[in-house]
């Protein structure tokens, strides 16, 4: 294992984050804080409890997931697309660095940024609405697992994209809508029976449900099922990345 190569890639990506601190960290935190103010404090004060939890606190896990999913995909996809766009990807491919080491460096940095963002949003939420974490270990597991999984997914998007426009298609057209329809602002038990069944085909439902359970002990889907679904998606992303590097798809052409 080439630890020096992993460290170099990781530090380079983290340095890029701190050079664009307002865009990478401050902007998502401020945007999410507005959600807490509007939905949590203003609207939540006029709504009843959802699954026995105050509405302001109920949306905290969903909003954190909304930010982590979008930022994980964005950070990882942009991180690997830039070398492709500038042509420096060929230096990486010709260097004595395996795809596993490159993957650890890029995905590790993107996941670290997302976890940092999640923690900052947790602190920000505490200022706006009261909440408690019933299962801290499970909360940390879902937070890290989601950040790593969707950083991998973003890495795949960055390898696939051939333009900056394509880089934004999947996050804007797929990830964000699935997150809003995945129970970020409501419990799927509030939907009609038919739509409850349809919603179960949305993979984001399992992430938000498991993460919310770690906070309040209530969930739309069994927590074991949520964890299994997340691990399954993680394994699928690893398999796709492995295939891309072994075949050179979108890398050597």
Instruction: Give the pTM.
Output: 0.86
What is the Cβ-side half-sphere exposure of residue 171, based on CA atoms within 13 angstroms? 27
Apex CA 52: angle with CA 50 and CA 56, to 5°?
55
Distance (Å, rounded) from C-alpha 253 to C-alpha 251?
6
Report the mean per-residue pLDDT for the chain: 83
Which band of pLDDT confidence, cut at 50, 70 and 90, is reported for residue 71? Answer: confident
pLDDT one-digit tens code per residue, 198-228: 888 888 899 999 999 999 998 888 899 999 9
User: Do residues 178 and 203 make contact, with C-beta atoms less than 8 angstroms apart?
Assistant: yes
Q: What is the token pair recorded at 78? A: 């942009």
Average pLDDT of span 172-179: 82
pLDDT one-digit tens code per residue, 100-141: 888 888 899 999 989 988 888 888 888 777 888 999 999 999
**Four-point Cα dihedral 177, 168, 80, 157, nearest 10:** 50
Residue 239 buriedness (CB in 10 A; 0-12 / 13-18 / 19+) = exposed
Apex CA 178: angle with CA 176 and CA 183, to 5°?
110
Q: What is the token pair recorded at 44? A: 């939540």
3-state per-residue secondary structure call for 127-152: HHCCCCCCCHHHHHHHHHHHHHHHHH
Q: Give the position of tokens 């103010």.
A: 37
Does residue 14 register a pLDDT over 60?
yes
Domain ranges of the chain: 3-247
Does residue 92 register a pLDDT over 80?
no
Does residue 253 register a pLDDT over 60?
no
Three-state SS at 51: coil
Write the DSSP assignment of 176-187 as a string of letters.
Answer: HHHHHTTTSSS-
Check residue 21 and give its pLDDT: 65
């Amino acid at each position: 294992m080439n630890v020096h190569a992993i460290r170099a890639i990781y530090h380079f990506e983290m340095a890029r984050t701190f050079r664009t601190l307002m865009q990478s960290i401050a902007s998502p935190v401020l945007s999410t804080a507005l959600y807490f103010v509007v939905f949590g404090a203003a609207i939540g004060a006029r709504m009843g409890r959802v699954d026995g939890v105050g509405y302001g606190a109920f949306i905290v896990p969903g909003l954190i997931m909304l930010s982590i999913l979008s930022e994980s995909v964005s950070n990882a996809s942009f991180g690997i697309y830039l070398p492709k766009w500038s042509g420096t990807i060929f230096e990486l491919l010709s260097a004595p660095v395996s795809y596993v080491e490159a993957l650890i460096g890029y995905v590790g940095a993107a996941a670290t940024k997302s976890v940092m963002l999640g923690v900052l949003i947790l602190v920000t939420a505490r200022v706006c609405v009261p909440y408690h974490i019933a299962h801290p270990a499970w909360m940390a597991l879902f937070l890290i697992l989601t950040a790593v999984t969707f950083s991998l997914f973003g890495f795949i998007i960055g390898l696939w994209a051939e333009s900056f426009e394509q880089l934004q298609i999947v996050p804007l057209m797929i990830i964000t809508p699935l997150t809003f329809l995945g129970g970020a602002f409501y419990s799927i038990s509030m939907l009609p029976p038919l739509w409850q069944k349809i919603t179960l085909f949305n993979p984001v439902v399992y992430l938000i449900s498991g993460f919310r359970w770690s906070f309040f002990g209530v969930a739309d889907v069994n927590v074991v099922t949520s964890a299994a679904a997340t691990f399954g998606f993680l394994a699928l992303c690893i398999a796709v990345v492995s295939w891309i590097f072994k075949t050179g798809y979108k890398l050597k052409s």
